[in-house]
Amino acid sequence: MADLSFPEPYEHKHAPVANLNDVMDEQLTVGERTADRVASLVGSWPFIIVQSVLLVAWLIFNIVAWAHHWDPYPFILLNLVLSFQAAYTAPMILMSQNREAERDRLDAHNDYVLNQKAEEEIRVILAHLSAQDQALKAIHKQVLALARDS
């Protein structure tokens, strides 16, 4: 019988793959968490609806107010409030977006490393399958020879 040879069993030489989202979430600072919450809140329909209702109410109460106009037309106080809101929310949204961009870069790198590991394992599997093909051919030849001899 021909000597059949197979590759050595594959041993993983790398650390287990970690969930990048869990790792990133553990490293978030209070400021980053706050920026994410603000960006999430400001970028939502409930915020847009509530802000629109408040702006319309502000305008209506200041236009039809008979006794006390706290912000008469052209609504300078409203403009100041909205400017303050924009001045504080815009940098927080940018911080959140920058952090998300960094997470995307790390995610892409993690995908690349994972693809390299998968490619290595696929090569080992293909080598093993090739060895099995050769072994099956040798066994098939021996079975045919035995069948002819009997």
- For residue 42, the model assigns a pLDDT of 92
The pLDDT assigned to 72 comes to 83
Reported as a single tens digit per residue, the pLDDT across 123-139 is 999 999 999 998 999 89
Helix/strand/coil for 128: helix
Residues 6+ apart with CB under 8 A from 110: 17, 20
pLDDT for position 73: 82
CB 129 within 8 A of CB 62: no
Instruction: Give me the pLDDT at residue 9, please.
Output: 81
Per-residue model confidence (pLDDT) at position 2: 59
What pLDDT is stored for residue 69 in this prediction? 78
Residues of the chain with pLDDT under 50: none
**Is the CA virtual torsion 9, 10, 13, 16 positive or negative?**
negative
- What was the pLDDT predicted at 150? 78
